[in-house]
Amino acid sequence: MPNDILYTRRDFLRTGLLGGAMTWSAPTFLLSAMNALSASAADAATQAVTGRDGPILVVVQLSGGNDGLNTVIPYTNDFYRKARPTLAVPARDVLALGGDVGLHPALAGFRSLYDDGLAAVVQGVGYPNPNRSHFRSMEIWHTAVDANRASNRGWLGRYFDNACAGSDPTVAINLGKENPQAFAAKIPKGISYQPERPVAFEDPLGGLGMAAAAEDEAAGGSITTLRGGGGTEQVDALDFIERTALHAQVSSDQIGRISKAYTPRETFPNSGLGRDLRTVAQLIGGGMPTRIYYVSLGGFDTHANQAGSHRNLLATLGDAVRVFMAEMKRQDNLDRVLLLTFSEFGRRVDENAGQGTDHGAAAPCFLFGGAIKPGLHGTAPSLDPSRLVDGDLAFTTDFRALYASLLDHHLRADSATILGRRFDPLPVFRDQPERMRS
Amino acid sequence: MALDGLPQERWTPEMAAHLLNRAGFGGTPAEVEALYQRGHAGAVDWLLDIPPGDGVAAPPVWANPFTARRDELLGPMPMRGSDRDADRQARQRVVRQREESWLFDLRAWWLYRMRHTTTPLQEKMTLFFHGHFATGYEKVRSAYAMFLQNQTFRRHATGNWRALVEAVTRDPAMLIYLDGIENAKGAPNENYAREVMELFTLGEGHYTEADIREAARAFTGWRFNRRLFTMEFVPSRHDAGRKSFMGKKGAFTAEDIVGLILEQPQAARWLAAKLWTYFAYENPEPAVVDALAATLRRADYDLAPALRAVFMSRAFYGTRAFRTQVKSPVQWMIGTLRMLDAPMPETLQVQRTLASLGQQLFDPPNVKGWDGGITWITTASLALRYEAGARFAHQRGQARARDRMLDHRETILAEARALDLDIVLPSTDTPWLREASGPALDWARLLPDEVRHSKRAALDNLLWRLYQTGLRERERALFAAYLDQLPDTARWTESTCGDALAALINTPAFQLT
């Protein structure tokens, strides 16, 4: 890891998970009053903690464009070997799944989950008119709108707006610095949390009765616009910061309490992803009422010398997810927790001159959990050069059909409202009818 | 019209503060007053007048190939080590740590420049270009390459956009970062070709996938010369064939492609919108973008006339701009130091704080740079700002940070000695490291006796320092109510002053400029 000196763990552990003494960062009196200045912050009233049941979705974002072809490998296919003279994984190393595909050898963790009947592989996931820009394609996955349209709401944000009214800001927790665009909602929800950078707003909203004072003048007319959505919705930056301060204050108390209540039994790998998933497991085990957890693993943009770095990334992913699911089993939470992996796109079928691959299109997604119907789903895209689109795999499953299944059958929300239209859900759950009709 | 000038009689001290905050990193009340006294046009002239070398801090010695040990500076870059030989791995580790200590020094140097520069617009533009042409050390793995790129940005700060884009297209750090050094005839690597259009010059939707493929062919042939640390053109690696790009055909080279891109009207609009967003506000009106783009085109992409147009415009001082910008972590930190005329804290503490707030220099999240705006603020980052704000107000943790840094240095040197490696680490006797050992916040000067006769006077004094562009009446009332709880100002200790400062800066309003 670069810059060892900057990220010494000892320093952060010293203060414990959330134990930083924060009363001195700002007087409680001012914190509460400042936070209460926001008129619209009133909607953040807390609700009772009911974290022991209800479905949970854990999203694992693979940033940079994961090479799907070397993840779920069509190892018997001649086109694959021709397209990947140096990067093709030898057939003898592939962890066969049946159906002429197998996993990359670094994904032993996924293989063992597959063998336990806890893994579903959805092949050929993408969308029409694929965009090969990291940022635009990621935005399309986050907003779940057609590739030629823009939205300033995320698909999970629309779920919050439609199905989580009145819930805590901690209905969704992102492990990281930046809120994912998928969280962008009409009523902002979701917090970002970094356990290694311990922080606590010491005091929950005190009864200072300052909220009413918040309604008068908007002096300065400070108007700015929410980024990233391509829309024109106006958001007041000061209002946004006041609301965020309030959320931090309310939720840090809750997280602090709950993370003391449970310690994961399994030993997680000491990778960034391993630590993040351990935190998620700790919060789930402690009974946090959170429905969505969001974690990321970056580095998949393997334009050059792909083999080694891709192998390491997949091993990191597989090992962390395997332990996480084992921990869920111990907690008896297997059936209510679902873990999804996705990436903004797959990579070009032909490798380039630098033993890497350029941006591509369709790729597989993985689902893990006790409620899923294990095995291979969807259709593997053809590798026949005449069937490729600009050198890329043509998608066979729209990612929004996958979202629709998660929303309808796992999160118990109405996918048609949230996605703006009905997608035929994929039959990826055990108790789901074979095919839903629109 | 869209870029109408601000009438001269409307120029106020608050506007001077706004200008200094946005075109630079702010300053003390005295500096704002001096800028105000120049008049509007005089103030903008002063910002744009950038003589070569501001004399603030010469580059680190290790980064000078004429005084440093050239073999080490230009030696092999630290690899990602997969070699199983234990001894070799240990050597690689030492070399990597030496490289990182240079990077650490490079950051400290640049932050010190931002804090002390007398040409703030130059450093502000350098930071803009770093975010725009985002390049990360983690992939480049050469502090010297990052330094060279940083100097390129500084040199072109108010220069010509075309010259800068051409320089970036041959910049070693950029081409390592975006795989341009892997781009060869026969199997072109599209990474740089894509990003140069999508992120640097045109924006998504203003080129085709075919344009990317053709541009990648034109960009082939550049090889990294490790001896000279430059990109050199190798004709045999260049695809000299005919290309079809943006509707034109020819045996285009890299320069031709840059020229053809900048001929697109969209190229000027793209840059205009980026500049306006950086300095004024997000999502500028199309008329503003068009007017600024026209200014750029008229001047053949010279930046100074466009910057002058921004800073002279009425819209730059309007309600959409005033107190609406979320401070980036660097702006927040450097701005606070400059307002208070405070010394740079220990650089380890500074760099850790910036990393935790999401803006580690030379380590942008990806090639798109930092998203900025409200994305700087999350529950986690806001709480961290408050914590860091309090630590600064009370000047805590500095000695510890310095000890940690020196210990780390000794550890690397000891490892090197054990391996019989002769390495050079950055000097610890530089202006940017020395300053933190000197006097800290000077409360006798910040709150002199003549303003300690009443809490109201003390508050007004602090507010004019920290909220130079004004704040809402009810926040002022809250601060006053808070000060009522404190002892009489005559009895304020350093700790009381720290409490008051923390209370004033750890607020939502202080996160905006």
pLDDT digits (tens, 9 = 90+) for B319-328: 999 999 999 9
| More confidently predicted of B179 and B226 | B179
Q: Give A23's pLDDT tier (boundaries 50, 70, 90).
A: very low
pLDDT at residue A137, rounded to an integer: 94
Q: In chain B, which residues have their Cβ closer than 8 Å to the Cβ of A224?
A: 281-282, 320, 324-325, 373-374
The neighbouring-strand residues paired with A332 are none
Q: φ, ψ for residue A299 (rounded to 5)?
A: 105, 10
Neighbours of B453 (CB within 10 A): 12
Alpha carbons A134 and A212: distance in angstroms, whole number = 44
Neighbours of B3 (CB within 10 A): 20
The verdict on B411 touching A (C-beta cutoff 8 Å) is no
The closest CB to that of A2, out of B100, B323, B499, belongs to: B100
pLDDT at residue B6, rounded to an integer: 93
Question: Is pLDDT at A78 greater than 60 in this prediction?
Answer: yes
Q: Give B40's pLDDT tier (boundaries 50, 70, 90).
A: very high
CB A241 within 8 A of CB B512: yes
What is the Cα Rg of chain A in Å? 22
Of A82, A9, A110, A88, give the one whose Cα is nearest residue A317: A110
Neighbours of B265 (CB within 10 A): 12
The verdict on B187 touching A (C-beta cutoff 8 Å) is yes
Residues B457-503: pLDDT tens digits? 999 999 999 999 988 888 888 899 888 889 999 899 999 999 999 99
- Taking CA–CA distances from B357, the nearest residue in chain A reads A177
Q: Give B288's pLDDT tier (boundaries 50, 70, 90).
A: very high
Q: In chain A, which residues have their Cβ closer than 8 Å to the Cβ of B408?
A: 4-5
A54: left (phi over 0), alpha (psi -120 to 50) or beta: left
Residues B318-376: pLDDT tens digits? 999 999 999 999 999 999 999 999 999 999 999 989 988 889 999 998 888 999 999 89
Query: Do A197 and B103 make contact, defined as CB atoms within 8 angstroms?
Result: no
The verdict on B131 touching A (C-beta cutoff 8 Å) is no
- Taking CA–CA distances from B403, the nearest residue in chain A reads A5
Chain A neighbours among B 445-484 (CB < 8 Å)? 470, 472-475, 478-479, 482
Query: Do A244 and B379 make contact, defined as CB atoms within 8 angstroms?
Result: yes
- Taking CA–CA distances from A309, the nearest residue in chain B reads B80
pLDDT at residue A252, rounded to an integer: 74
pLDDT at residue A37, rounded to an integer: 45
Query: Do B204 and A179 make contact, defined as CB atoms within 8 angstroms?
Result: no
Mean pLDDT of all residues in A39-58:
57
pLDDT at residue A27, rounded to an integer: 58
Neighbours of A11 (CB within 10 A): 15
Give which of A196, A224, A350 to mutate to test B binding, by max B Cβ within 10 Å: A224
The neighbouring-strand residues paired with B325 are none
| A&B contacts, CB < 8 Å | 234
pLDDT at residue A25, rounded to an integer: 55
The whole-chain average pLDDT of chain A stands at 81
> Measured between CA atoms, how close is B81 to chain A, in angstroms?
11
Question: Is pLDDT at A205 greater than 50 in this prediction?
Answer: no
Query: Do B382 and A245 make contact, defined as CB atoms within 8 angstroms?
Result: yes
- Taking CA–CA distances from B374, the nearest residue in chain A reads A237
Q: Give A3's pLDDT tier (boundaries 50, 70, 90).
A: very low
The neighbouring-strand residues paired with A102 are A73, A96
Query: Do A248 and B382 make contact, defined as CB atoms within 8 angstroms?
Result: yes
The closest CB to that of A247, out of B355, B379, B506, belongs to: B379
The whole-chain average pLDDT of chain B stands at 91
Query: Do A220 and B319 make contact, defined as CB atoms within 8 angstroms?
Result: yes
Query: Do B386 and A251 make contact, defined as CB atoms within 8 angstroms?
Result: no
The closest CB to that of A197, out of B103, B356, B472, belongs to: B356
The verdict on B8 touching A (C-beta cutoff 8 Å) is no
Residues B421-469: pLDDT tens digits? 888 889 989 999 988 877 789 999 999 999 999 999 999 999 999 999 9
Residues A160-170: pLDDT tens digits? 999 988 787 88
- Taking CA–CA distances from A173, the nearest residue in chain B reads B379
pLDDT at residue B69, rounded to an integer: 66
| pTM of the shown model | 0.79
Residues A416-429: pLDDT tens digits? 999 999 999 899 99
Mean pLDDT of all residues in A135-151:
90
Question: Is pLDDT at B84 greater than 60 in this prediction?
Answer: no
Give which of B379, B402, B475 to mutate to test A binding, by max A Cβ within 10 Å: B379
Of A52, A121, A39, A27, give the one whose Cα is nearest residue A287: A52
Question: Is pLDDT at A193 greater than 90 in this prediction?
Answer: no
| More confidently predicted of A42 and A173 | A173
Mean pLDDT of all residues in B394-415:
86
Alpha carbons B52 and B55: distance in angstroms, whole number = 9
pLDDT at residue A34, rounded to an integer: 58
Q: How far is CA B221 from CA B162, B172, B323, in A?
A: 21, 14, 48
Give the CA angle between residues A134, A137, A138 to the nearest 5°.
Answer: 80
Neighbours of B224 (CB within 10 A): 17
- The interface predicted TM-score (ipTM) is 0.89
Question: Is pLDDT at B230 greater than 90 in this prediction?
Answer: no
pLDDT at residue B68, rounded to an integer: 63
Residues B157-194: pLDDT tens digits? 999 999 999 999 999 999 999 988 878 888 788 899 99
Question: Is pLDDT at A51 greater than 70 in this prediction?
Answer: no
Q: In chain A, which residues have their Cβ closer than 8 Å to the Cβ of B365?
A: 178
- Taking CA–CA distances from A248, the nearest residue in chain B reads B379
The closest CB to that of B389, out of A25, A245, A303, belongs to: A25
Q: How far is CA A14 from CA A18, A20, B411, in A?
A: 10, 9, 22
Question: Is pLDDT at B301 greater than 70 in this prediction?
Answer: yes
The verdict on B211 touching A (C-beta cutoff 8 Å) is no
Residue A252 structure tokens: 């840090």
A31-45, B82-96, B232-246, B302-316: least confidently modelled range: A31-45
Query: Do B475 and A37 make contact, defined as CB atoms within 8 angstroms?
Result: yes
The closest CB to that of B189, out of A27, A221, A354, belongs to: A354
Instruction: Tell the burial category of B284 from Cβ atoms under 10 Å away from its Cβ (0-12, 13-18, 19+).
Output: buried
- Taking CA–CA distances from B96, the nearest residue in chain A reads A2
pLDDT at residue A417, rounded to an integer: 95
The closest CB to that of A353, out of B184, B470, B474, belongs to: B184
- Taking CA–CA distances from B504, the nearest residue in chain A reads A26
Neighbours of B76 (CB within 10 A): 8
Give which of A12, A133, A305, A359 to mutate to test B binding, by max B Cβ within 10 Å: A133
pLDDT at residue A32, rounded to an integer: 57
Q: In chain B, which residues have their Cβ closer than 8 Å to the Cβ of A24?
A: 390, 394, 499, 502
Question: Is pLDDT at A44 greater than 70 in this prediction?
Answer: no
Secondary structure percentages of chain A, helix, strand, coil, to 5? 35, 15, 50
> Measured between CA atoms, how close is B509 to chain A, in angstroms?
6
Q: Give B54's pLDDT tier (boundaries 50, 70, 90).
A: confident
Q: Give A310's pLDDT tier (boundaries 50, 70, 90).
A: very high
The verdict on B356 touching A (C-beta cutoff 8 Å) is yes
> Measured between CA atoms, how close is A223 to chain B, in angstroms?
6
Q: In chain B, which residues have their Cβ closer than 8 Å to the Cβ of A201?
A: 383, 386
Q: How many helices (H) and strands (E) does chain B have?
A: 25, 4
Query: Do B472 and A217 make contact, defined as CB atoms within 8 angstroms?
Result: yes
